[in-house]
């Protein structure tokens, strides 16, 4: 449980952080809250010569709640997502999901940027961001670009982000009034990743559903969303069960996970429906 | 206030003696972060050890190349079996009469086994050097199933090849360790053949781990000038460790000082001797510098002693109206790569023969076969007396299985089979003499407290609602009445490595009437400094607050066998009372002298001796203490101290009635404990608050074990649950509220009637939780299903019963 040695960098702005990443290439890695990265380093499953701490970069902080969009700086902690008043009323789904992540200690340090950039299929925020149709802003040596959350995830720990890019902010369209939202997660205990989790938004003739930890990436399903928009819950569940591809692990065998996935999805749909107007 | 104005009751209360919920004196330092644990110890020039461990469960070790590691600046040494063998220390004896590799000697037998020991100037350098040691392995076929192991051609223990006789009798196969038989096989089989009803079931108690908050560790410090070795460590039995170190190292015992500082939980995990201790001692001897070794969490879960892993095939016979006539059990015990089970020498399966439980079962038979597999060695009593939890789980499941077969209420089936109060002392069919008990009273009290009939009515309604599609949640009522056997034990039949299992206490009264007491045990959270002072307070009338308690330093404490198996109060607690009584006897003579009367003319009154018939003429214990040091009393030596070594005449038999009410979601397998009632009878109650705390902690461990905690292996012998993400430790969120209750049936042979309680909640809790799960599904046809009852396994029960449509 002791990491290999590394050099520690603490740049004060995005440009210098990118500079350090360029200088050291794949020898360098950024660290945000450290609550995914440090355990991997202690297990020596992640070893890097240079650790670039993002804590001192103010540009990466802050929550901005506008009329149509919410912008979250990458370094906003999960605790802030829970306690920010304006965010809670603009997109209550974020708070509901963040409360089901880990435990208070982890949430004080863990960031939204780290959670979505990590690429661990167990993370809750990626599926949620896909459900909300968020956009990730990436800054790198060649400037800044945007990637839709629904396009970002390629495989476990592989994302559209280049090694020398930093995820700087997340933009989320504010769901229209009357849209019901729900996040339903089954886990073995407090502090555990999902056995299965579902993020659902529906209302105004539209719907969006995404699921977590049931494939090597989060799963947002266009056909499941479309079925639900048409009011076809069974069709939505069937489409989602087609889209997911869980593997057996300590949380249980595949048939159990598929069953629970359907249960979580149905419960999330029912709760979202009860909240829609 | 003047002493004379206080009533005897007020004076007794001011002592905070037995029966007082005195606050734990230990907590002052623990809650302020001022404890002193092994890892807090820092000595000048201290080096750090770390292990290279096998990634394979079974492999030949063809070579170990240390060069790159030794080249790393700051690395002092890399030890392998080759380095230890000239000292004869590459293997060490186990507590179970087997031997165990200290460092891999040609092969490895479990994942995480110690292969090489790196010593470096810094903890971080040691970890880096571990990565640089190159080990060439050749993988061998892996055996993780004990039933397979007994059939396989693969020889795990090549060192034992050709040895058909083990420490506990004949070995039937090269992977077989021992067979242990108790009771009357023929008579039991005859009863089974003729019985009205026989229920038969395989009851598996899965492999788990004590997982104390503080892992195992030590600091070895060899002083080359004095020739004295000081060994600090997380030892539950410091004195026995000193003797063992002396025997295996050849260092004279007076030159070894073992110190157990504060210990952050043991639960049996810290009873045995580990490779880390041996290697640290050797490293300190070789370098002449202190060497620290502390496991990390994964090492603790993967390599230091596990618990349980018993496959218990049971048959229980009864008349058609439910009177049990016989019990048969055959256990296949998975001991891993070495037999390092921590049991008294003559009991290779511990006290598993307490498996007739609380019931008057006239005829019984138990056989246990120990088996080698490619898993970590151990088999410790995880918060229970030796294999008592396994026994309690077995009988409490068999009762439920029999109730199903008889179509009877399980509470009633228990009631008609309980040993009756007037049958004590009770001779069990498997050889124990139960000291005391009143099971019917406890049972009736428990059933009434939870409104058992009301619960059953609610459950019937729930079943109807479920069948009508109105709910997807079931209600389970888990019953348990357990009887433990603790306080090992009488020297005539209990020893560990030849050391009789007595225990000890030495008390010294200071001139001003305060005292220090030292015991052969060692607290790991049990609160000895609080409770043992209370025993002394009640016995000799000095306030508990004025009594210091010390344990764990073999240079100062009297010899004792340590703390595990709920033995501290039954054995060392008895020694404490006996030592205090010796002091009181001398105090009586001093008082009589001071009061100028005959010894027999004074009588004890709470905190003083008073002249019989003239209570206003008295000497308090405080006054007597001073007199012991400042008066020349004819015929008496000065001073006031005593020591007692107590060899208990029998074990003690705490018991209890636990009831768990659980809601189960059949669609997700999620559970919720709605109510948990725990009635404990541990005889005389020394500190009710500490008892309650012990029960809360123990039931929480039981919840973890029953509902998710396990050491699981895949077919390659990889440990699948080596971190706390997968190894279930409940948080406050998962932990239910508990209702505690008690009856008091003192032990007739114990000086203060106390029986021990620390382990009861784990012993009784596991079957209560498991029975609740089973009970929820009983109306739908479930008979037996194995723990741990985590979500997917509960879901699988529901799925197997066709509940998912
Ligand atoms: C006990 C425990 C339980 C947990 N349970 C859950 C859970 O239930 N659900 C859940 O979602 N998470 C859970 N987590 C993970 C936690 O939420 C992490 O905090 C989160 O996954 C990562 O955020 P971080 O800020 O800590 O990132 P870090 O650990 O610092 O980084 C994670 C990865 O993202 C990269 N990264 C971080 N920030 C950026 C950035 N701005 N741009 C580019 N790359 C970046 C890092 O290089 C690293 O590879 C748990 C963690 C623990 C320790």
**Residues paired with residue A137 on neighbouring β-strands, in sequence order:** A146, A169
Q: Is residue B164 part of a domain?
A: no
Write the DSSP symbol of residue A175.
Answer: P
Does residue B759 share a domain with residue B668? yes
- Residue B3 banded pLDDT, cuts 50, 70, 90: low
Using CA atoms, how far residue B143 sits from B151, B156, B373, B375, in Å, is: 10, 8, 5, 8
Are B178 and B169 in contact by the 8 Å Cβ rule? The answer is: yes
CATH number of domain containing B753: 3.30.365.10
- Residue from the list B131, B296, B668 with its beta carbon closest to the beta carbon of A263: B668
Does residue B382 share a domain with residue B236? no
Average of pLDDT values for B307-313?
Answer: 98
Q: Answer whether A79 contacts ligand 1 (Cβ < 6 A).
A: no
Q: Is residue B172 part of a domain?
A: no
Q: How far apart are the first and last CA of chain A?
A: 51
Does residue B528 share a domain with residue B427? no
Q: Is residue B413 part of a domain?
A: yes
Cβ-defined contact of B733 to A189 (cutoff 8 Å): yes
Average pLDDT, chain B: 97
- Residue from the list B128, B667, B726 with its beta carbon closest to the beta carbon of A4: B128
Does residue B512 share a domain with residue B472? no
The active-site residue, picked from B22, B383, B462, B608, is B383
Tell me: pLDDT of B640 over 50.
Answer: yes
Does residue B75 share a domain with residue B31? no
Ordered by where they begin, the domains of chain A are 7-53 (3.30.43.10), 58-173 (3.30.465.10), 180-275 (3.30.390.50)
Strands (E), B552-649: 602-604, 608-611, 614-620, 641-646
3-state secondary structure of A143: strand
Q: Please enumerate in sequence order all residues whose Cβ is within 8 A of that of B623, keeping only pairs 6 or more positions apart, or say none.
A: B513, B594
The active-site residue, picked from B100, B113, B236, B526, is B236
Task: Establish whether B383 is a catalytic residue.
Answer: yes
Looking at residue B2, its pLDDT comes to 45
Tell me: pLDDT of B4 over 80.
Answer: no
- Residue from the list A1, A103, A252 with its beta carbon closest to the beta carbon of B792: A252
**Residue A219 tokens, joined:** 């799963």
Does residue B642 share a domain with residue B531? yes
Does residue B617 share a domain with residue B477? no
Tell me: pLDDT of B369 over 80.
Answer: yes
Q: Please give the residue of chain A at the shortest CA–CA distance from B711.
A: A250
Q: Is B781 exposed, middle or buried (0-12, 13-18, 19+ CB in 10 A)?
A: exposed
Looking at residue B575, its pLDDT comes to 97
Last residue of a domain, one of B646, B662, B686: B646
Domain that holds residue B721: 306-488+651-800
**What is the distance in angstroms between the Cα of B734 and the nearest Cα belonging to chain A?**
7
Rounded Cα distance between A115 and A119, Å, is: 8
Q: What is the pTM of this model?
A: 0.97
Looking at residue A268, its pLDDT comes to 98
Q: List, as ranges, residues 695-724 from B with C-beta within 8 Å of A.
A: 708, 712, 720-721
Structure confidence by residue, pLDDT tens digits, B519-532: 999 999 999 999 99
For chain B, give the percent of residues with pLDDT over 70: 100
- Edge-first strand order for the sheet with A180-186 is A180-186, A196-203, A206-212, A219-220
Structure confidence by residue, pLDDT tens digits, B133-171: 999 999 999 999 999 999 999 999 999 999 999 999 999
Cβ-defined contact of A259 to B790 (cutoff 8 Å): no
Q: Is residue B179 part of a domain?
A: no
Residue B265: count other Cβ atoms within 10 Å of its Cβ: 17
Residue B788: its chain A contacts at CB < 8 A?
Answer: none
Last residue of a domain, one of B621, B646, B671: B646
- Please write down the HEC assignment for all residues of B702-725: HHHHHHCCCCCECCCCCECCCCCC
Residue B124: its chain A contacts at CB < 8 A?
Answer: 2, 5
Q: Answer whether A135 contacts ligand 1 (Cβ < 6 A).
A: no
Average of pLDDT values for B59-70?
Answer: 98
Looking at residue A1, its pLDDT comes to 85
Write the DSSP symbol of residue B558.
Answer: P
Judge if ipTM > 0.85: yes
Does residue B655 share a domain with residue B626? no
Q: Is residue B153 part of a domain?
A: no
Q: Is residue B183 part of a domain?
A: no
Does residue B55 share a domain with residue B124? yes
Last residue of a domain, one of B646, B661, B677: B646
Task: Establish whether B216 is a catalytic residue.
Answer: no
Rounded Cα distance between B398 and B393, Å, is: 8
Q: Is B637 exposed, middle or buried (0-12, 13-18, 19+ CB in 10 A)?
A: exposed
Q: Answer whether A116 contacts ligand 1 (Cβ < 6 A).
A: no
Does residue B784 share a domain with residue B734? yes
Looking at residue B1, its pLDDT comes to 38
Does residue B544 share a domain with residue B685? no
Q: Please enumerate in sequence order all residues whose Cβ is within 8 A of that of B429, keeping only pairs 6 or more positions apart, or say none.
A: B183, B184, B327, B356, B361, B362, B363, B364
Q: Is residue B533 part of a domain?
A: yes
Tokens 């560990």 sit on residue: B496
CATH number of domain containing B238: 3.90.1170.50
Tell me: pLDDT of B565 over 90.
Answer: no
Does residue B637 share a domain with residue B522? yes
Handedness of CA B417, B422, B428, B434 (dihedral sign): positive
Residue A252: its chain B contacts at CB < 8 A?
Answer: 790-792, 795
Low-confidence ranges of chain A (pLDDT < 50): none
- How, if at all, do strands B608-611 and B324-336 pair? unpaired
- Residue B354 banded pLDDT, cuts 50, 70, 90: very high
Q: Is residue B755 part of a domain?
A: yes
* Number of domains, chain B: 3
């Amino acid at each position: 449980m002791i990491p290999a040695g590394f050099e520690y960098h603490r740049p004060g702005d995005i440009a210098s952080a990118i500079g350090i990443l360029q200088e050291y290439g794949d020898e360098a890695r950024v660290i945000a809250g450290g609550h995914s990265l440090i355990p991997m380093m202690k297990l020596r499953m992640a070893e890097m010569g240079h650790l670039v701490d993002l804590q001192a970069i103010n540009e990466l902080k802050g929550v901005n709640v506008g009329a149509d969009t919410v912008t979250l700086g990458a370094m906003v902690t999960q605790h802030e997502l829970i306690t920010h008043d304006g965010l809670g009323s603009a997109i209550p789904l974020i708070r509901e999901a963040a409360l089901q992540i880990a435990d208070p200690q982890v949430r004080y340090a863990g960031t939204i940027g780290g959670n979505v950039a990590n690429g661990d299929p167990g993370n809750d925020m990626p599926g949620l961001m896909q459900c909300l149709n968020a956009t990730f802003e990436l800054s790198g040596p060649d400037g800044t670009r945007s990637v839709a959350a629904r396009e970002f995830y390629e495989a476990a720990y592989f994302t559209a982000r280049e090694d020398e890019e930093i995820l700087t902010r997340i933009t989320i369209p504010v769901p229209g009034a009357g849209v019901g939202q729900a996040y339903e997660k089954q886990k073995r205990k407090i502090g555990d990743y999902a056995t299965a989790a579902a993020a659902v938004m529906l209302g105004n003739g539209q719907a969006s559903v995404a699921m977590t930890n049931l494939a090597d990436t989060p799963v947002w399903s266009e056909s499941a969303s479309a079925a639900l928009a048409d009011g076809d819950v069974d069709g939505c569940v069937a489409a989602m069960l087609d889209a997911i591809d869980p593997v057996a692990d300590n949380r249980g065998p595949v048939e159990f996970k598929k069953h629970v996935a359907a249960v979580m999805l149905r419960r999330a749909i029912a709760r979202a429906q009860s909240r829609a107007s | 206030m003047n002493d004379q104005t206080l009533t005897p009751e007020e004076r007794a209360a001011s002592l905070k003696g037995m029966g007082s919920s005195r606050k734990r004196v230990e907590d002052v330092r623990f809650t302020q972060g001022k404890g002193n644990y092994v890892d807090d110890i820092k000595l000048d020039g201290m080096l750090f050890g770390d292990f290279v461990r096998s990634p394979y469960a079974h492999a030949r070790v063809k070579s170990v190349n240390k060069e790159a590691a030794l080249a790393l600046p700051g690395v002092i040494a890399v030890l392998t079996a080759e380095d230890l063998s000239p000292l004869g220390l590459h293997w060490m004896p186990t507590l179970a009469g087997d031997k165990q590799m200290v460092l891999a000697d040609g092969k490895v037998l479990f994942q995480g086994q110690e292969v090489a020991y790196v010593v470096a100037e810094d903890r971080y350098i040691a970890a880096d050097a571990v990565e640089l040691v190159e080990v060439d392995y050749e993988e061998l076929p892996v055996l993780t199933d004990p039933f397979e192991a007994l059939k396989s051609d693969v020889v795990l223990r090549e060192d034992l090849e050709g040895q058909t006789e083990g420490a506990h009798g004949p070995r039937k196969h090269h992977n077989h360790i021992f067979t242990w038989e108790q009771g009357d096989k023929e008579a039991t089989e005859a009863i089974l053949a003729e019985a009205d009803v026989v229920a038969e079931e395989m009851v598996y108690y899965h492999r788990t781990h004590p997982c104390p908050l503080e892992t195992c560790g030590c600091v070895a410090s060899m002083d080359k000038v004095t020739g004295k070795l000081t060994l600090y460590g997380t030892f539950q039995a410091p004195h026995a460790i000193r003797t063992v170190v002396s025997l295996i190292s050849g260092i004279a015992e007076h030159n070894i000082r073992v110190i157990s500082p504060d210990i952050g939980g043991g639960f049996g995990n810290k009873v045995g001797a580990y490779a880390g201790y041996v290697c640290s001692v050797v490293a300190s001897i070789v370098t002449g510098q202190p060497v620290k070794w502390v496991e990390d969490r994964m090492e603790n879960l993967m390599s230091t002693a596990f618990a349980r892993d018993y496959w218990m095939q049971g048959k229980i016979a009864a008349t058609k109206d439910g009177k049990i006539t016989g019990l048969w059990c055959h256990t296949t015990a998975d001991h891993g790569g070495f037999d390092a089970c921590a049991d008294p020498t003559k009991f290779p399966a511990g006290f598993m023969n307490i498996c007739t439980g609380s019931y008057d079962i006239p005829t019984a038979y138990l056989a246990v076969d120990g088996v080698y597999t490619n898993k970590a060695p151990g088999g410790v009593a995880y918060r229970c007396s030796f294999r008592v939890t396994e026994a309690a789980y077995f009988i409490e499941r068999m009762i439920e299985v029999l109730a199903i077969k008889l179509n009877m209420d399980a509470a009633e089936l228990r009631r008609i089979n309980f040993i009756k109060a007037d049958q004590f002392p009770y001779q069990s069919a498997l050889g124990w003499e139960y000291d005391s008990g009143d099971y019917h009273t406890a049972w009736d009290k428990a059933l009434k407290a939870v409104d058992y009939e009301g619960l059953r009515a609610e459950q019937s309604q729930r079943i109807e609602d479920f069948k009508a599609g109105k709910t997807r949640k079931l209600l389970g009522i888990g019953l348990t009445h357990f009887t433990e056997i603790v306080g090992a034990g009488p020297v005539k039949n209990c020893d560990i490595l030849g050391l009789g299992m007595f225990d000890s206490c030495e008390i010294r009264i200071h001139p001003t009437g305060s005292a220090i007491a030292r015991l052969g045990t060692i607290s790991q959270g049990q609160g000895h400094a609080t409770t043992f002072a209370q025993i002394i307070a009640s016995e000799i009338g000095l306030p508990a607050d004025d009594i210091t308690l010390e344990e764990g330093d073999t240079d100062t404490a009297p010899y004792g066998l340590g703390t595990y198996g709920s033995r501290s109060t039954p054995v060392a607690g008895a020694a404490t009372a006996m030592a205090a009584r010796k002091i009181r006897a001398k105090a009586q003579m001093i008082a009589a002298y001071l009061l100028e009367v005959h010894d027999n003319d004074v009588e004890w009154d709470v905190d003083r001796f008073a002249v019989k018939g003239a209570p206003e003429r008295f000497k308090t214990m405080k006054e007597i203490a001073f007199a012991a040091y400042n008066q020349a009393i004819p015929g008496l030596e000065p001073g006031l101290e005593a020591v007692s070594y107590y060899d208990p005449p029998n074990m003690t038999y705490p018991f209890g009635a636990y009831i768990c009410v659980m809601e189960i979601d059949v669609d997700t397998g999620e559970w919720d404990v709605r109510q948990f009632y725990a009635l404990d009878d541990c005889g005389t109650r020394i500190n009710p608050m500490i008892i309650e705390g012990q029960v809360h902690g123990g039931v929480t461990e039981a919840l973890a074990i029953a509902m998710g905690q396990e050491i699981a292996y895949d077919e390659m012998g990889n440990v699948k649950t080596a971190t706390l993400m997968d190894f279930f430790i409940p948080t406050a969120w998962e932990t239910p509220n508990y209702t505690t209750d008690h009856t008091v049936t003192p032990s007739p042979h114990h000086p203060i009637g106390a029986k021990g309680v620390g382990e009861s909640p784990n012993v009784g809790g596991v079957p209560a939780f498991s029975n609740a799960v089973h009970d929820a599904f009983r109306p739908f046809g479930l008979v037996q299903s194995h723990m741990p009852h985590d979500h997917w396994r509960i879901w699988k029960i529901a799925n197997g019963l066709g509940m998912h449509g």
